[in-house]
A and B are shown apart, each in its own frame.
Chain A
């Protein structure tokens, strides 16, 4: 049941006003030379007795060792705190930090949240304007009225009869279609007369 009916509706413009938007970017040209995983350390905070940390305790017992083995570049800290709800704190190479509450979440969910944090770049989750970005949108440059123009017009003397007359165009597509239609009609009427 949706009970959020009295939340104010937010247009994308209002959203961008507060949260901003950005283009796709990667820290330090990552991936052109080699890929460096941006997550540098992650802290799992939990309570040893409280029920809200049950999922986190299960995760630490069963899954954490696999995560640490698969990601030797990530320093994993486990921090027990008495009677406080569990959370994940991720720190990235570019100085970004992410904090996610894991209160009453089962171990399976924590596996997924860890995978999510592992793949992040560390930049904040802004709205990304496009899926791709280039610093050079056009090699040729912007269109100008001079592009592909005959340089002869530069030295023409005006008034000029040749340049002032109506440009002679070839047959248009509509005319072509009309012609084809006429031909088709002629052929079909000829066939009909032969059959009769």
Chain B
């Protein structure tokens, strides 16, 4: 070329000067090439899948060197703002399977009569289960006084179900504290330990304190849930007509309020249910694709209005449990549900 050699070199140096070595930048500021992140995401997803299939080795938290069971037990009570009897709490966290395993292990090591001064939580677990069931039933009855007994038992079954109680047990940190054969502990083990913790609280701090505990951790799970997702009403039309018949009213009269897109694939109907010319309910948010489906929706809405469980009712009073009238009286069963009696009950 016609340019002198020195000038070419100068051009080269001016071009390089403002740039830095990319490797140096990457070391200093952690800049990765663009395949790095997808690669890591893939690895992470693969690990998650292996974890799901149980291919990854899972170490119990207590296997690690930084583990102090005494401190963990102390912090457990403090975290929940409760005073537990320590020896009882330790017993509550021992699953019977742990004792069996320890006995076998000591026998394998040559100890003929293993000196194990521990008893499992089976007894405490049954005690706690009864407390939770009893208080949940009374609380749900007191907060839903017009709801039929079938609905109450469905809600209580949900609250005392294995899935929910084990979720709560994990949520208060029982997973690492339970002494059991397997790790991670199974659902049943966590549920037993949670119920035992409730029983221990009853023995340490008294029943009223225990009820507050159950209310705060178990019953608050009802918040934000739709009752009819938990209690499935199979045939609302026949239930509504049965209730009206039992109460000596006329049969309900479904009226077509609005319709749109008749004889098309997008047909939609809104039906309102009337009884003795009084409005009972209508499909407010859910309409029907056919007239029959719309009648079902309207009957369902009428039932939820009768049982005072619409979305507009006031929330469950968790902060004032002492104002609730807790007693053993059952709610009205659905086959014998009285409209007049329900109208006399005032919820506040």
From A75, A77, A141, A145, contact of B285 by CB (8 A): A141
Cβ of B14 within 8 Å of any chain A Cβ, yes or no, is no
Contact between chains at A75 and B167 (CB < 8 Å): no
The interface centre, meaning the residue of A27, A75, A140 with most chain B CB atoms within 10 A of its CB, is: A75
- What is the bound-complex CA distance between A140 and B223, given in angstroms? 19
A-B contact count (CB 8 A): 98
- What is the bound-complex CA distance between A7 and B26, given in angstroms? 10
Q: In the complex, what residues of B have CB within 8 A of residue A29's CB?
A: 220-221, 223-224
Contact between chains at A75 and B168 (CB < 8 Å): no
Contact between chains at B68 and A36 (CB < 8 Å): no
The interface centre, meaning the residue of A18, A37, A40, A136 with most chain B CB atoms within 10 A of its CB, is: A40
Contact between chains at B72 and A75 (CB < 8 Å): yes
Closest B residue to A40 by beta carbon equals B173
Please count how many residues in chain A sit with their CB below 8 Å of the partner chain's CB atoms.
39
CB contact list, A22-76 vs B, under 8 A: 27-29, 32-34, 36-37, 40-41, 43, 72-75
From A75, A95, A139, contact of B75 by CB (8 A): A75
CB contact list, B1-58 vs A, under 8 A: 20, 22, 25, 28-29, 31, 34, 37, 41
Closest A residue to B29 by beta carbon equals A4
| Nearest chain B CB to A66 CB, angstrom units | 16
| Nearest chain B CB to A68 CB, angstrom units | 10
Closest A residue to B177 by beta carbon equals A40
| Nearest chain A CB to B304 CB, angstrom units | 13
Q: In the complex, what residues of B have CB within 8 A of residue A79's CB?
A: 65-66
- What is the bound-complex CA distance between A177 and B219, given in angstroms? 59
Contact between chains at B312 and A139 (CB < 8 Å): yes
**With A36-B172, A72-B75, A72-B78: A146-B257 Cβ-Cβ less than 8 Å:** yes
Contact between chains at A43 and B260 (CB < 8 Å): no
From B75, B80, B257, B318, contact of A74 by CB (8 A): B75
- What is the bound-complex CA distance between A32 and B217, given in angstroms? 9
Cβ of A8 within 8 Å of any chain B Cβ, yes or no, is yes
Map CB proximity to B onto A123-152 as digits: 1 under 8 Å, 0 otherwise: 000000000000110011110111001010
From B67, B175, B215, contact of A33 by CB (8 A): B215
**With A43-B66, A149-B258: A141-B79 Cβ-Cβ less than 8 Å:** no
Contact between chains at A7 and B260 (CB < 8 Å): no
Cβ of A94 within 8 Å of any chain B Cβ, yes or no, is yes
Cβ of B74 within 8 Å of any chain A Cβ, yes or no, is yes
- What is the bound-complex CA distance between A79 and B66, given in angstroms? 7
Contact between chains at A75 and B284 (CB < 8 Å): no
Contact between chains at B75 and A136 (CB < 8 Å): no
Cβ of A3 within 8 Å of any chain B Cβ, yes or no, is yes
Contact between chains at A151 and B257 (CB < 8 Å): yes
- What is the bound-complex CA distance between A33 and B211, given in angstroms? 12
**With A75-B72, A93-B171, A154-B257: A33-B79 Cβ-Cβ less than 8 Å:** no
- What is the bound-complex CA distance between A45 and B78, given in angstroms? 24
Please count how many residues in chain B sit with their CB below 8 Å of the partner chain's CB atoms.
49
CB contact list, B309-340 vs A, under 8 A: 311-312, 318
Cβ of A193 within 8 Å of any chain B Cβ, yes or no, is no
Q: In the complex, what residues of A have CB within 8 A of residue B258's CB?
A: 146, 149, 151, 154
- What is the bound-complex CA distance between A91 and B215, given in angstroms? 26
Map CB proximity to B onto A75-118 as digits: 1 under 8 Å, 0 otherwise: 10101000000000001011100000000000000000000000
**With A36-B79, A139-B312: A6-B285 Cβ-Cβ less than 8 Å:** no
- What is the bound-complex CA distance between A141 and B22, given in angstroms? 56
Cβ of B87 within 8 Å of any chain A Cβ, yes or no, is no
Q: In the complex, what residues of B have CB within 8 A of residue A77's CB?
A: 66-68
| Nearest chain A CB to B79 CB, angstrom units | 3
Contact between chains at A32 and B318 (CB < 8 Å): yes
- What is the bound-complex CA distance between A8 and B219, given in angstroms? 49
- What is the bound-complex CA distance between A37 and B34, given in angstroms? 39
**With A33-B215, A72-B74, A146-B257: A7-B312 Cβ-Cβ less than 8 Å:** no
Given contacts A43-B66, A79-B65, 10 further A-B contacts (CB under 8 A): A28-B172, A32-B223, A34-B80, A74-B75, A74-B79, A79-B66, A139-B311, A141-B285, A146-B270, A154-B258
Q: Which residues of B contact A (CB under 8 A)?
A: 20, 22, 25, 28-29, 31, 34, 37, 41, 61, 65-68, 71-72, 74-75, 78-81, 167-168, 170-173, 175, 215-217, 219-221, 223-224, 256-260, 270, 284-285, 287, 311-312, 318
What are the nearest 10 A-B pairs in CB distance? A33-B216, A73-B79, A141-B285, A72-B78, A77-B66, A28-B171, A146-B258, A29-B220, A73-B78, A32-B220
